[in-house]
Amino acid sequence: MRKLKTVIGILGTIALLFVVSILMFYIHTAVIVGYLPIYGNPDPKDVAIHSFYMPLVYFTLVLWLLSFFVWLLVSSVYMYRLKDGVQIKPLFISFVAHVLAWTIFSSEILNWFLD
């Protein structure tokens, strides 16, 4: 069961990597242009740092989307196997990480990036 707990932690970390990578690009762009970017203004492809952040954000986005479904499966198995002895802390922390990632995924920040 220790392995499942470790896998749950890794999957939560992947979600945080996506959140950090896209927020870094968003904030870095805001510092460069002097205001928070909105859809189409500025176009993310016109920002000089786009070529640096683009592979990182796309990679972590795809990795997070895949890891989310694996996280659902692993978390279900973890809770089923341990029933009474489930340690909530790793599940809660990874859950919060995935909620943050879903919040970014459904926000204007991702819409701006994918513009």
Contact 52, 32 (CB under 8 A): no
Task: Tell me the per-residue pLDDT of 52-107, one tens digit each, with 9 for 90 and over.
Answer: 999 999 999 999 999 999 999 999 888 887 776 777 888 899 999 999 999 999 99
Q: Return d(Cα 75, Cα 2) in angstroms, integer.
A: 12
Q: How confident is the model at residue 31 (pLDDT cuts 50, 70, 90)?
A: very high
pTM across the whole model: 0.89
Report helix, strand or coil for 28.
helix
Domain ranges, ordered by start, for the chain: 2-114
Tokens 């952040």 -> residue: 53
- Give, in order, the Cα–Cα distances in Å from 51 to each of 48, 56, 58, 108, 114: 7, 9, 11, 20, 13
Residue type, 33: V
pLDDT confidence of residue 1: 66
CA distances from 98 to 6, 66, 72 (A): 16, 12, 10
Which conformational region is residue 56 in: left (phi greater than 0), alpha (psi within -120 to 50 degrees), or beta? alpha
User: Residue 81: its pLDDT value, please?
Assistant: 77
- Gap between the Cα atoms of 13 and 96, Å rounded: 11
